C-alpha cells in the first residue's frame, strides 16, 4: 500500500515468470503443471514445489490467455426446453456442480423446439465458443446431429434418446413407471390410468412403455392413457379426460410432478377425493411433492445425478464416440398420503 501511495502505480500481481524463478524451473513447466498436462514427466517433488510457490505467491493464471493457449474456454452450455418445468432445475443443479469440479462454468438457456431457435443457438455456441453442449429435452433430429458435428464442440443429449440418436444419457424411465405401477397393484388397484406427457416426448414414451409392460406382466389390460404437456395446466386437462372416461379408474400414474399438481387440482374440483376415491402417484420427486394436498407419492430418480453424469461424459469422452447410456442409479418409491388401497 505504501508503494502505491508514493508512486501512484498499483503493484503488479505475481507472474508465471515469478513462479518459475522462485521454483527453479522453466516457465513452460509451470504452465503445463497448472494445465494438468498428462504428457508432462517430472518428479513429484518438483510438482509439489511449483504448486507450493503458486500458493505462496498467490499466483492466478490469466483466464483469457490460458484459453488461447489450451484452446479451451472452460465453459459448457446446457439448453433446456423451458425453465418452468422444475425437473430441469434439478438437472441444471447437478450439471453445475460437476462443471465447477471440472474447473468449468455452466451456461444455461431455454430453447424451443423450432428450427429457428435451434439455428440461433447453434450459431452462437459453435466455433469454439464453448467446450461442449448439453441438450436437454427434444428437438435433435439426425439432420441436426450433423449440424452439431460441423460446429466443432462435443455435444450430448440429456434425458432423450430417439431414432438415430448416437450420443445420449437418460434415466431408466421404464423401470421407474414399473415401480409405480407395482406399488398401486400391491395396494389392490387393478384399474390404473396413465397421465402421460406430450405425445412426441421421448421421456413420455419410455414411461408409457414401462406402464404397459407392468400392467401386462400382471395380466391386466392397460387403462386409459391421457396426454398432458408436463405443466399443471396439462395435468389438469389430462385428469379431466380420465375422469370423463367410460371406465372408472381407481388410480392414476402421472408422468411428471408438475402435471400431478394440476391432476390433483382437477380431481378436487370434480369432487374426487384423493386417495379415498382415487390414488395418484407421480414420476420424479421434487420438494413441492411433500407440500401438496394430499402429499404426493412419487418415484424418485436422481435428476441432479443425471446432470452431473452428462457433464462428466461430455468432458471425458472423445467427441466422435457413440454414447448410449441409461443411468444406473437407485430408484426409490417415496410413499406419502396420495395413495391408499381402493374402496371395496
Q: Within this chain, do residues 234 and 245 fall inside the same structural domain, yes or no?
A: yes
For the ranges 24-38, 43-57, 99-113, 142-156, which has the lowest average pLDDT? 142-156
Which pLDDT does position 16 carry in this prediction?
85
| DSSP collapsed to 3 states, the chain | CHHHHHHCCCCCCCCHHHHHHHHCCCHHHHHHHHCCCCCCCCCHHHHHHHHHHHHHHCCCCCHHHHHHHHCCCCEEEEEECCCCCHHHHHHHHHHHHHHHHCCCEEEEEECCCCHHHHHHHHHHHCCCCCCEEEEECCCCCHHHHHHHHHHCCCEEEECCCCCCCCEEEECCHHHHHHHHHHHHHHHCCCCEEEEECCCCCHHHHHHHHHHHHHHHHCCCCCCCEEECCCCHHHHHHHHHHHHHCCCCCCEEEECCHHHHHHHHHHHHHCCCCCCCCCEEEEECCCHHHHHCCCCCEEEECCHHHHHHHHHHHHHHCCCCCCEEEECCCCCEEECCCCCCCCCC
Query: Is 215 in the same domain as 297?
Result: yes
User: Are residue 293 and residue 181 in the same domain, yes or no?
Assistant: yes
Taking the model in full, what pTM does it have?
A: 0.74
Q: What's residue 69's pLDDT? A: 46
Domain edge (last residue) among 42, 70, 98 = 70
Domain of 30: which CATH number?
A: 1.10.260.40
Percent share of the chain, pLDDT over 70: 82
Residues 163-173 have a mean pLDDT of 84
Q: Are 177 and 287 in a shared domain?
A: yes
| pLDDT recorded at residue 217 | 95
Do 200 and 177 have their domain in common?
Answer: yes
My answer on whether 199 and 294 are in the same domain is yes
Residues 269 and 180 in one domain: yes
What pLDDT is stored for residue 3 in this prediction?
44
Average pLDDT for the chain: 84
Within this chain, do residues 166 and 312 fall inside the same structural domain, yes or no? yes
pLDDT of residue 124: 64
CATH number, domain at 227? Answer: 3.40.50.2300
Which of 70, 86, 112 is the last residue in one of the domains?
A: 70
Question: What's the pLDDT score for residue 123?
Answer: 65
> Does any domain span residue 121?
yes
Whether 33 is in a domain gets the answer: yes
Of 233 and 318, the one with more pLDDT: 233
pLDDT category of residue 1 using cuts at 50, 70 and 90? very low
Residue 331 lies in a domain: no
Whether residue 32 sits in one domain with residue 141: no
Who wins on pLDDT, 110 or 145?
Answer: 110
Would you place residue 173 in the very low, low, confident or very high pLDDT band (cuts 50, 70, 90)? very high
Is 178 found in the same domain as 289?
Answer: yes
Looking at residue 320, what is its pLDDT? 80
Domain residues for the domain of 34 are 2-70
Q: Is residue 333, in this structure, part of any structural domain at all?
A: no
When pLDDT is averaged across residues 274-296 and rounded to a whole number, the result is: 95
Pick the more confident residue, 3 or 150. 150
- Residues 199-224 have pLDDT tens digits of 878 888 899 999 999 999 999 988 88
Mind listing the pLDDT tens digit for each residue in 120-166? 666 666 555 788 889 886 555 555 677 666 666 788 889 887 556 78
Does 241 reside within a domain? yes
Same domain, 122 and 43: no
Tally of structural domains, the chain: 3
117 or 159, greater pLDDT? 159
Mean pLDDT along residues 223-238: 92
| 219: in domain | yes
Q: Which three cell numbers stand for residue 104?
A: 468449468
User: Cα 169 from chain centroid?
Assistant: 9
pLDDT above 90 covers a percentage of the chain that reads 47
Residue 343 lies in a domain: no
**In which band, very low, low, confident or very high, does the pLDDT at 67 lie, cut at 50, 70 and 90?**
very low
Domain membership flag for residue 338: no
Do 81 and 162 share a structural domain? yes
Amino acid at each position: 500500500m505504501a508503494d502505491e501511495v508514493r508512486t501512484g502505480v498499483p503493484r503488479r500481481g505475481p507472474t508465471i515468470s515469478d513462479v518459475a524463478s522462485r521454483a527453479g524451473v522453466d516457465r513452460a513447466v509451470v504452465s503445463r503443471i497448472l494445465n494438468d498436462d498428462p504428457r508432462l514427466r517430472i518428479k513429484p517433488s518438483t510438482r509439489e514445489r511449483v504448486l507450493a510457490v503458486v500458493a505462496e505467491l498467490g499466483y492466478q493464471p490469466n483466464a483469457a490467455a490460458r484459453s488461447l493457449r489450451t484452446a479451451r474456454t472452460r465453459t459448457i452450455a446446457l439448453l433446456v426446453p423451458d425453465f418452468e418445468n422444475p425437473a430441469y432445475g434439478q438437472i441444471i443443479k447437478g450439471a453445475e456442480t460437476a462443471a465447477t469440479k471440472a474447473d468449468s462454468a455452466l451456461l444455461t438457456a431455454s430453447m424451443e423446439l423450432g428450427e429457428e431457435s435451434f439455428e440461433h443457438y447453434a450459431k452462437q455456441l459453435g466455433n469454439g465458443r464453448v467446450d461442449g453442449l448439453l441438450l436437454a429435452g427434444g428437438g435433435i433430429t439426425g439432420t441436426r446431429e450433423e449440424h452439431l458435428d460441423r460446429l466443432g464442440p462435443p455435444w450430448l443429449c440429456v434425458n432423450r434418446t430417439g431414432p438415430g440418436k448416437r450420443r445420449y444419457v437418460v434415466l431408466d424411465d421404464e423401470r421407474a413407471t414399473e415401480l409405480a405401477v407395482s406399488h398401486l397393484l400391491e395396494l389392490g388397484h387393478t384399474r390404473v390410468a396413465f397421465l402421460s406427457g406430450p405425445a412426441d416426448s421421448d421421456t413420455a414414451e419410455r414411461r408409457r412403455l414401462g406402464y404397459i409392460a407392468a400392467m401386462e406382466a400382471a395380466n391386466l389390460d392397460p387403462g386409459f392413457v391421457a396426454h398432458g404437456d408436463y405443466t399443471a395446466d396439462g395435468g389438469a386437462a389430462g385428469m379431466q379426460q380420465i375422469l370423463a372416461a367410460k371406465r372408472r379408474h381407481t388410480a392414476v400414474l402421472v408422468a411428471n410432478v408438475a402435471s400431478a399438481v394440476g391432476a390433483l387440482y382437477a380431481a378436487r374440483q370434480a369432487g374426487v377425493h384423493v386417495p379415498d376415491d382415487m390414488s395418484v402417484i407421480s414420476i420424479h420427486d421434487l420438494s413441492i411433492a411433500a407440500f401438496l394436498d394430499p402429499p404426493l407419492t412419487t418415484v424418485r430418480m436422481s435428476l441432479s445425478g443425471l446432470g452431473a453424469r452428462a457433464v462428466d461424459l461430455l468432458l471425458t469422452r472423445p467427441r466422435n464416440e457413440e454414447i448410449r447410456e441409461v443411468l444406473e442409479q437407485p430408484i426409490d418409491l417415496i410413499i406419502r398420503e396420495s395413495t391408499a388401497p381402493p374402496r371395496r
